[in-house]
């Protein structure tokens, strides 16, 4: 298995509070991604990173910010959590080879009350 961990694995929080999810990799891969998975929507890309301090928006970036200060860590922040952000969040990594597949972390289940 690719060395990807996510923390926390489960979180319950209240509307309006900030939340930060962490993705950590030991593979030294250049690209890192954050997705959310919701029933009926498949996986939707929130933000991705193509290097340290280099990030870009995905399909559903509103209400989320990211940071990547080190190759191995990619943080996703919900600035003010809302109930619509209740979801399962997956981090993924990939290398620089053309068409290289993504490797996914175990996921974080977030419930916003």
Partner 1 sequence: ELKVEQNPLFLSMQEGKNYTIYCNYSTTSDRLYWYRQDPGKSLESLFVLLSNGAVKQEGRLMASLDTKARLSTLHITAAVHDLSATYFCAVEDDKIIFGKGTRLHILP
For binding to partner 1 (CB under 8 A), which residues are involved? 33, 35, 40-45, 48, 58-59, 90, 92, 98-107
Whose Cβ is closer to partner 1: residue 15's or residue 50's?
Answer: 50
How is residue 60 written in tokens? 């559903």
Q: Tell me if 37 sits within 8 A of 18, measured CB to CB.
A: no
Q: Please report how close the Cβ of residue 42 comes to partner 1 at its closest, in angstroms.
A: 4
Q: Is 63 helix (H, G, I), strand (E, B) or coil?
A: coil
Q: Tell me if 78 sits within 8 A of 85, measured CB to CB.
A: yes
Whose Cβ is closer to partner 1: residue 18's or residue 55's?
Answer: 55
Q: Please report how close the Cβ of residue 39 comes to partner 1 at its closest, in angstroms.
A: 9
Whose Cβ is closer to partner 1: residue 9's or residue 17's?
Answer: 9
Q: How far apart are CA 24 and CA 1, in angstroms?
A: 14
């Amino acid at each position: 298995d690719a060395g990807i961990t996510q923390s926390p694995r489960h979180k319950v929080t209240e509307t309006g509070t900030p939340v930060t999810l962490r993705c950590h990799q030991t593979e030294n891969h250049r690209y890192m991604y954050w997705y959310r998975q919701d029933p009926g929507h498949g996986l939707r890309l929130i933000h991705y990173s193509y290097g340290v301090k280099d990030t870009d928006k995905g399909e559903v970036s509103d209400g989320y910010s990211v940071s990547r200060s080190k190759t191995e860590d990619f943080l996703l922040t919900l600035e003010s959590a809302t109930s619509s952000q209740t979801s399962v969040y997956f981090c993924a990594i990939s290398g620089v080879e053309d068409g290289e597949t993504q490797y996914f972390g175990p996921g974080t289940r977030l419930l916003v009350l």
